[in-house]
Each structure stands twice: as C-alpha cells, then as structure tokens.
A and B are shown apart, each in its own frame.
Chain A
Amino acid sequence: AIRMTQSPSSFSASTGDRVTITCRASQGISSYLAWYQQKPGKAPKLLIYAASTLQSGVPSRFSGSGSGTDFTLTISCLQSEDFATYYCQQYYSYPRTFGQGTKLEIK
C-alpha cells in the first residue's frame, strides 16, 4: 500500500495567516491526490481533488499543488472556520490510503 505522510502533524496559526500543509507519498502518484477538512465530531469534507482542483463550493483561499510524490495544501488567509484537521488521500492505486492528518489550531 502507498504510505501518505503529512507534515506537520499539528501547528498553531492566527486568523489572517497564510499556511501550508505538506503531504508526501511513498511512491509517485501523479496528481491522484485529494484533500479533506474534518472538524470535531463531523465527517471529512472534500476540498480538493486531482491535486489542485477545487471542489464546488470550497472558498478560493484554499489551493493545492504538486505531483509525483510531494503535494501541498495552502490556505491563503486563515478564517476562524478553517481551524480543523486536514487529510490527504491518494487514489493512484488500491487500497486508497490517507495521511495521518494535520491539526490546525488557533494560536
């Protein structure tokens, strides 16, 4: 199975900050990567697929980039509702696998 590793595991930021989360695949996955946001007690919500395509309804302050093994999720100007845990997921091969998550907390 392809292993997905996110960094950092957690960090603190302030509203208005620009933040970047990294996801690394254990082998090349082209652009077959999705990002999700999960808030406590809720299901994950799809933000981005195909590494950089924003899901309908997701604010434009979210963006994704990368291909091969290294990917990033950027939030350009943090809003209060963005404090959550973020997961990457590869769909290059089965079984589908997720990163361990990055928890974004308020500083």
Chain B
Amino acid sequence: QVQLQESGPGLVKPSQTLSLTCTVSGGSISSGGYYWSWIRQHPGKGLEWIGYIYYSGSTYYNPSLKSRVTISVDTSKNQFSLKLSSVTAADTAVYYCARDPLTGTTSRGWFDPWGQGTLVTVSS
C-alpha cells in the first residue's frame, strides 16, 4: 500500500523560498503510471492544486502560482519536491502531496492517496 509523507521546515520567512519533500513508500515513482501532485489548504479554507510531476521530470503548474513554483523528482530516493519562491503570509497553508493515477500518460484526475500534510507558516 503506497504511502506519502511530507517533510520540510514549518516556518519560512517572507520573501524566502519554501521547500518541501514528499517521500513515497510502498511503491516506486519510477514505475510510472502516476502523476505526483502538490496541493495546499489555507487555514480553515478550501483546497488549491499547485502542480504535478511525472517520474520523467515533466511538470504542469497551476497558472496562478506558475511563476514561483518548481516541482522536481529524485527517483533514486523515491521522492519529489516543491519549491515556492518569494513567499508571503498568503502562502501559509497545510501542504499535501498526493498521487494522481494515469491511463497511459493521461491523468485520470483524482487524488489518492494523500500524505498527512505539513503546516508551513510564513512569518518573520
């Protein structure tokens, strides 16, 4: 059973870069068959999809964040990572990683499973 676990600093200063890693266990990112996504949830609010990466390194980002987001993959460690630059208080959120199944190379669209989430607070 695949499990995802987010890790990274819980506090980031304004204007700096938020960096998180998602470690996948119980399955190999390199096997293909899935996109690997980041999703965030502002405190007490709804969910916002950030972007995905395929094991090959191809990515797609939410246009609302595209200028500040980089998602990368390290297949040797079975991990993928999120970098969000120039953060402000508006980037304070719980960040989740999640798996998106594919049919061929086409996303099936839903997310399952999710990591437990990690709260990142942007504050000086």
Do A and B come from the same complex? yes
State the A residues within 8 Å of B (CB). 1, 32, 34, 36, 42-46, 49, 55, 87, 89, 91-92, 94-101
The residue of chain B having its C-beta at the shortest distance from the C-beta of A35 within the complex is: B110
Tell me the smallest distance from the CB of A32 to a CB of chain B, in Å: 6
Task: Check A89 against B116 for contact (C-beta < 8 Å).
Answer: no
State the B residues within 8 Å of A (CB). 45-49, 60, 62-64, 96, 98, 107-117
List chain B residues, Cβ under 8 A from A49.
Answer: 108-110
Indicate whether A94 sits within 8 Å of B46 (C-beta atoms), given known contacts A43-B96, A49-B108. Answer: no
List the count of A-B residue pairs having beta carbons below 8 Å apart. Answer: 56
Which residue in B46, B63, B108, B114 is a CB contact (below 8 Å) of A43? Answer: B114
Task: Check B107 against A91 for contact (C-beta < 8 Å).
Answer: yes
Which residue in A32, A89, A91 is a CB contact (below 8 Å) of B47? Answer: A89
List chain A residues, Cβ under 8 A from B117.
Answer: 43
Tell me the smallest distance from the CB of A46 to a CB of chain B, in Å: 4
Task: Check B47 against A98 for contact (C-beta < 8 Å).
Answer: yes
List chain B residues, Cβ under 8 A from A96.
Answer: 49, 109
